[in-house]
Amino acid sequence: MTKHVNIILEGMVQGVFFRESTLDKARELSIAGFILNQPDGSVFIEAEGDESSVATFVDWCKQGPPQANVQKCTTTDAEIKGFSEFEIHSV
């Protein structure tokens, strides 16, 4: 079953290759959606995929790449949007 989650990550999550690393992980797990740096220093992600892949993806996001320091991860379920791939968005 397909699942869609919105993820907000706070901490040292910008300037540490978080978006690029997340893109690689999303492609590895067949996750579609996007990642976006927020003006407040957080990162916002919309992710869709099968339930187990989304759960694995969220667990990875809680750690992020080696340079990151995720202090808070907030996830909320949302409606399926039918993304076809995972992308990095700019503000």
Rounded-to-integer distance, Cα 3 and Cα 5, Å: 7
Q: Is the dihedral of CA 81, 37, 58, 32 positive or negative?
A: positive
Q: Per the residue annotation, which of 6, 19, 27, 69 is the catalytic one? A: 19
- 19 tagged catalytic: yes
Rounded to whole angstroms, the Cα distance separating 67 from 80 reads 31
Residue of 6, 27, 37, 69 with catalytic role? 37
6 labelled catalytic: no
Active-site annotation, residues: 19, 37
